A = this chain, B = another copy of it.
Amino acid sequence: MNSYRLLFESEYEDVIEKLKSERDRNITGYYDLPFDSIKLPKKDFQEIVLIGIGGSSLGTRAIDSFLRLKRKAKKIHYLDNPDPVAFKNKLSRIDPTNSLFILISKSGTTLETITQFKALLHYFNLDLSQDAKRFIFITDRDSALDKLAKKYQIEYFSIPKNVGGRFSVLSNVGMIPLGLAGYEIEKILYGAKFFMQRFFAKKETTILKKASFLAKNWQQYPMNVLFSYANELENFNKWYMQLWGESLGKIDAHGQSVGLTPITLIGPRDQHSFLQLLAQGPIDKSVTFLRIANFEEDLLIPNCSLPYLESTDFINGLTFGQMVNEQAKATMKSLKKRNMPIDEIILPCINEESIGELIVYFELLTSSVGALLEINTYDQPGVEEGKRILRETIG
């Protein structure tokens, strides 16, 4: 089901050609990532400590949370936001003697990441020379971090220069930690490859239809809501938020500020929060419903009736997963009546292939919208100003 109006099919070809041209001229390297193979290092450890922020951790977290049920895997501690309370709390739960420390920074000098790393070395009494085997660095070739790795013979992995953080989850950035944690990364990449090929073979024209609608009507619908009906998708929502916001909030080829604002919700929970605004507020949002058709380890709602509460019994005998899906469908129907632009993504189940497909779906959608908006989808020049002011103030 898809309520986006069909625009001009003739444009689809143009968008695909633009994306192909980005790929062939190496404007961005993310299109090729699912076709690469990842070589995992051999390491002996019990838990992983991942130090990285933004694109260096959001994708890994998205997949890790989504596949939680299938985890035969080693735990990953994420050190992302340098909040003092959270950082201290995490430090107290890490056993440094049994941990592998994976430091991820594309530029090699990300302030929050390097600062946390230095604090780790200090508070855990780690030494780069003696403890070299307990570190892995993932960074751009020839970055400062790359040089540091070489100096101390720390194992390191590179990120293709033309793959930005938010498009890098299927590179070493995500695949090394997830692979080391025990996930079947080849299946994730298989799902990603499968979808990428179908798109370029013009078999996923829904993406083009949707991109075309969103780009043409961005001033009427400047907000795009991703309404995900599963706790397991909460970190995927955060990954999408970066991908969408950082890629599509730009100054376009004509010098005009354009921007599509991502908003993320979790269902059914946020039916008790944000839904009222969708139901009666201005129609300035498109909404994508994302749900999981089958939860492998679902739970039955017992056939139990309580005095005075019989009005809730109509749901008895369904599973929790079915209830969540029915709530998504009902909410979607209620919003369709308002003529909101709505579409739906149904994942068959929670597995590696489906998260691989889902990631590529949103990456290709982002690229398609960006191409139609005539912006550079892959840079982020706007974040430099704050960094400059910070250095001026403190430095």
Contact = CB atoms under 8 A, between A and B. Distances in A.
A302 B54 CA distance: 23
B274 A151 contact: no
A269 interface: yes
A230 B85 contact: yes
A85 B302 contact: no
Contacts of A275: 246, 382-383, 386
A116 B380 CA distance: 44
A183 B41 CA distance: 47
A147 B281 contact: no
Given A84-B299, A280-B257, A307 B147 contact: yes
For the residues of A in contact with B, the DSSP-based class is: helix
Given A277-B259, A282-B259, A320-B82, A334 B385 contact: yes
A114 interface: yes
B306 A115 contact: no
Given A249-B278, A281-B257, A282-B222, A311 B272 contact: no
Interface residues of A, number: 117
This chain: how many copies in the complex? 2
Contacts of A249: 276-281
Contacts of A282: 222, 257-259
Contact of A299 (B119, B245, B350): B119
Interface string A237-263: 010011001101111000001110111
Contacts of A307: 147-148, 151
Contacts of A109: 309, 311-312
Interface in A338-395: 350, 380-383, 385-387, 389-391, 393-395
A96 interface: no
Interface stretch (A17-25, A194-202, A323-331): A323-331
B269 A80 contact: yes
Contacts of A391: 314
A169 interface: no
Nearest to A280: B382
Interface in A272-315: 272-285, 295, 297-299, 301-302, 304, 306-309, 311-312, 314-315
Given A81-B269, A82-B268, 5 more contacts: A118-B304, A151-B308, A241-B273, A271-B383, A314-B394
